[in-house]
């Protein structure tokens, strides 16, 4: 910031014309050139009316003369490479060291409120690998927005009604024999998921029999008694039939208990949970009001539609002919209720990219219904997550269950850590605790380090590795730093609040301090671009650089007392930024490993 202000003054004094701060492009100098920061001078050529080299030379001379932070400079074509004075690095590290919540901005009464929706499970199946990516992205984004000074409400919409849950309910009625989580020893969400898969199996069997009897696929689907029963169950539920609603409440309560267990294990939570069963009626009311105002239209069969062809889209179904709701109806109602409940400045939906069209339509419909917030909705669209074997299918029971994956990750982390001797001297409880931190850290980091907009393949074996761009590698570095700090304390070394400015830093130490100083900018960019991956990869680069430094220089066995103190303070603050970065990703770090 000091240099940016000095550049603004330099331009005005040298060329007689002020410029906007956005035109000052400062970036880290490439390793092949001498310097710490590089100023791009091309934006100033119209004002200077000189070539890039001359302009850079003049600005460099001005900065070296007027800004004590600048020790020297060099010019490479249209780039001005600036070298920072040694004393400045100590000032920078002292500032970082003094800031416990380093580079995070707390919210205040004037902060904007951001609501972030994530998870959005269906109550007909347990959470799976796709849900894990969704939950991790949503939770991390919420933490990143809070770190940038926003007030945040983490919210979930549970899809607890519709034909999907009726399929599970019907299968339980027909073939469940009164099974409960207690009688089967299964988590409730797993039990209900089994009946969803069973329904699909029996439905396919029925279709096959009908087609064998000579019906076409479409005729068989229309004649299916099983699907007709499921649709009738949905109509009974919407009509408030006591037995149907009672069964629905019982089975959903099993699922909620199962979800809560998985959320707790995954380390995610919510400030407010909405249920489709409580929001769809508000959505229906809004649709019918839109119909009465001519915003929507009704077909001869009684179904209600929105004509979006003038907007370059198509016609969208909002209410079926039998009066039952669709997902869009529910989302309209949920949006209205949320904005009634909270003074939301920004609404962010964390939903996969297969729903891009859905949210484009939702935004348009809310705007047509007269809601001011309609056009301001943000769809945080992320890519699908697959396994090396390919895609997953819920109704065929081929998804990777979230609970199974979490258990497998923790188990593998324990086995790997034991093989590498990282659990030596631990009690069983301590070993289990560290294994859980490492296993979940491996899972979360592997998913969050990928640009959220990209499809990704999750490979459990690659994620648990104590080398390379993995969670365990970073966690181990943090534990190593804590070990060094403990040894220093055992030797009676007390770290000062302020380092002596006379200490001369070397190039690697300066690079580490410069990287630490970039943390705030990275956290801000992560919020602006909705990308936890920026923080994940920033911290990996910092850790990789620190490990090289640790290899090249002794921390506790430094050349002299001032070197030891400096390197311990530097290590302590790198540990602090690792822990803070990982907290923004929802990842814990162990003090020992």
* pLDDT per residue as tens digits for the range 324-363: 888 899 999 999 999 999 999 999 999 999 999 999 999 9
Whether residue 246 lies inside any domain: the answer is: yes
* pLDDT per residue as tens digits for the range 7-18: 999 999 999 998
* pLDDT per residue as tens digits for the range 506-564: 989 999 999 999 999 999 999 999 999 999 999 999 999 999 999 999 999 867 899 99
Last residue of a domain, one of 84, 102, 129: 84
Does 28 share its domain with 122? no
Structure tokens at 31: 């390793």
Whether residue 321 lies inside any domain: the answer is: yes
532-552 vs 507-517: helix axis angle to the nearest 10? 160
Question: Taking the mean position of all CA atoms in its chain, how far away is CA 255?
Answer: 24
Task: Tell me if 545 sits within 8 A of 518, measured CB to CB.
Answer: no
Does 422 share its domain with 541? yes
How far is residue 472's CA from residue 130's CA, in Å, rounded to a whole number?
A: 22
Question: How many Cβ atoms are within 10 Å of 454's Cβ, its own excluded?
Answer: 11
Last residue of a domain, one of 386, 417, 447: 386
pLDDT at position 543: 98
Does 266 share its domain with 142? yes
Question: Taking the mean position of all CA atoms in its chain, how far away is CA 28?
Answer: 26
CATH number at residue 376: 3.40.50.620
CATH number at residue 435: 1.10.730.10
Q: Residues 6 or more apart from 83 whose CB is under 8 A from it?
A: 34, 35, 36, 70, 71, 72, 73
Q: Residues 6 or more apart from 229 whose CB is under 8 A from it?
A: 170
* pLDDT per residue as tens digits for the range 60-80: 999 999 988 898 999 998 899
Does 296 share its domain with 377? yes
How far is residue 281's CA from residue 287's CA, in Å, rounded to a whole number?
A: 10
* pLDDT per residue as tens digits for the range 251-295: 999 999 999 999 999 999 999 999 999 999 999 999 999 999 999
pLDDT at position 463: 85
Q: Which residue range forms the structural domain that includes residue 509?
A: 405-584
User: H or E element: which one contains 316?
Assistant: strand 315-319
Average pLDDT, the chain: 93
User: H or E element: which one contains 304?
Assistant: strand 304-307
pLDDT at position 464: 82
State the pLDDT confidence band at 228, using cuts at 50, 70 and 90. Answer: very high
Whether residue 504 lies inside any domain: the answer is: yes
pLDDT at position 396: 46
The H-assigned helical ranges of 127-187 are 129-147, 163-175, 181-184
Whether residue 112 lies inside any domain: the answer is: no
Does 232 share its domain with 345? yes
Whether residue 94 lies inside any domain: the answer is: no
Does 368 share its domain with 414? no
- The strand pairing partners of 381, in sequence order, are 351
More confident of the two residues 447 and 459: 447
pLDDT score of 365 more than 70: yes
pLDDT at position 388: 73
Number of domains in the chain: 3
CATH number at residue 13: 3.30.1360.70
Does 462 share its domain with 382? no
* pLDDT per residue as tens digits for the range 19-45: 888 888 888 899 889 998 999 999 999
Whether residue 458 lies inside any domain: the answer is: yes
pLDDT at position 557: 82
Whether residue 391 lies inside any domain: the answer is: no
Rounded to the nearest 5 percent, the helix, strand and coil shares of the chain are 60, 10, 30
* Residue (of 84, 87, 55, 62) closest to 72 by Cα position: 84
Does 442 share its domain with 366? no
- Mean pLDDT value of segment 469-473: 95
How far is residue 96's CA from residue 570's CA, in Å, rounded to a whole number?
A: 10
Whether residue 164 lies inside any domain: the answer is: yes
Instruction: Determine whether 109 is exposed, middle or buried from the number of CB atoms within 10 Å of its CB (0-12, 13-18, 19+).
Output: exposed
Does 170 share its domain with 254? yes
Last residue of a domain, one of 40, 62, 84: 84
Does 380 share its domain with 464? no
Does 314 share its domain with 419? no
Does 353 share its domain with 467? no
Instruction: Determine whether 160 is exposed, middle or buried from the number of CB atoms within 10 Å of its CB (0-12, 13-18, 19+).
Output: buried
pLDDT above 90: percentage of residues in the chain: 79
The end-to-end CA distance of the chain, in Å, is 38
């Amino acid at each position: 910031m000091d240099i940016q202000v000095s550049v603004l003054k330099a331009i005005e004094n040298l060329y007689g014309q002020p410029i906007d701060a956005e035109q000052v492009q400062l970036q880290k100098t490439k390793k092949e050139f001498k310097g710490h920061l590089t100023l791009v001078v091309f934006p100033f050529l119209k004002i200077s009316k000189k070539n890039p080299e001359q302009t850079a030379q003049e600005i460099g001379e001005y900065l070296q003369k007027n800004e004590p932070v600048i020790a020297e400079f060099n010019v490479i074509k249209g780039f001005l490479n600036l070298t920072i004075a040694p004393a400045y690095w100590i000032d920078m590290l002292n500032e970082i060291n003094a800031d416990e919540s380093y580079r995070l901005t707390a919210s205040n009464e004037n902060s904007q409120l951001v609501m972030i929706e994530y998870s959005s499970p269906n109550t007909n199946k347990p959470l799976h690998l796709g849900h894990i990516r969704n939950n991790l992205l949503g939770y991390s984004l919420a933490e990143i927005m809070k770190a940038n000074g926003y007030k945040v409400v983490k919210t979930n919409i549970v899809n607890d009604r519709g034909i999907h849950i009726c399929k599970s309910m019907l299968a339980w009625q027909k073939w469940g024999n009164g099974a409960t989580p207690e009688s089967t020893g299964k988590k409730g969400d797993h039990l209900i998921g089994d009946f969803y898969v069973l329904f699909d199996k029996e439905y396919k069997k029925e279709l096959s029999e009908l087609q064998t009897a000579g019906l076409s696929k479409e005729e068989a689907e229309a004649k299916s008694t099983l699907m007709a029963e499921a649709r009738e169950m949905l109509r009974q539920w919407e009509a408030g039939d006591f037995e149907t609603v009672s069964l629905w409440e019982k089975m959903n309560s099993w699922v909620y208990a199962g979800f809560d267990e998985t959320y707790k294990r995954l380390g995610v939570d919510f400030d407010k949970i909405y249920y489709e069963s409580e929001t769809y009626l508000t959505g229906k009311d809004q649709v019918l009001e839109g119909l009465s105002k001519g915003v929507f239209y009704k077909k001869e069969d009684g179904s209600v539609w929105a004509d979006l062809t003038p907007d370059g889209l198509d016609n969208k179904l909002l209410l079926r002919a039998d009066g039952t709701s669709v997902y869009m109806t529910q989302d309209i109602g949920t949006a209205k209720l949320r904005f009634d409940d909270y003074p939301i400045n920004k609404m962010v939906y964390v939903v996969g990219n297969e729903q891009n069209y859905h949210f484009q339509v939702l935004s348009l419909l809310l705007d047509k219904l007269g809601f001011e917030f309609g056009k301001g909705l943000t769809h945080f669209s992320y890519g699908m997550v697959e396994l090396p074997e390919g895609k997953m299918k819920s109704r065929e029971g081929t998804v990777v269950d979230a609970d199974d994956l979490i258990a497998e990750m923790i188990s593998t982390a324990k086995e790997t850590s034991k093989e590498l001797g990282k659990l030596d001297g631990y009690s069983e409880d301590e070993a289990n605790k560290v294994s859980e931190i490492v296993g979940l850290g491996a899972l979360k980091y592997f998913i969050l380090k990928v640009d959220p907009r990209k499809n990704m393949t999750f490979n459990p074996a690659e994620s648990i590795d104590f080398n390379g761009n993995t969670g365990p590698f970073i966690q181990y570095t943090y534990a190593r730093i804590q070990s060094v700090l403990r040894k220093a304390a055992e030797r009676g070394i007390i770290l000062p609040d302020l380092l002596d400015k006379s200490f001369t830093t070397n190039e690697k130490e300066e690079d580490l301090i410069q990287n630490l100083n970039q943390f705030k900018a990275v956290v801000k960019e992560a919020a602006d671009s909705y990308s936890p991956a920026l923080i994940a990869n920033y911290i990996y680069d910092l850790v990789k650089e620190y490990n090289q430094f640790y290899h090249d220089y002794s921390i506790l066995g430094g050349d002299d007392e001032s070197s030891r103190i400096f390197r311990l303070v530097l290590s302590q603050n790198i540990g602090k930024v690792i822990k803070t970065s990982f907290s923004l990703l929802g990842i814990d770090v162990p003090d020992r490993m």
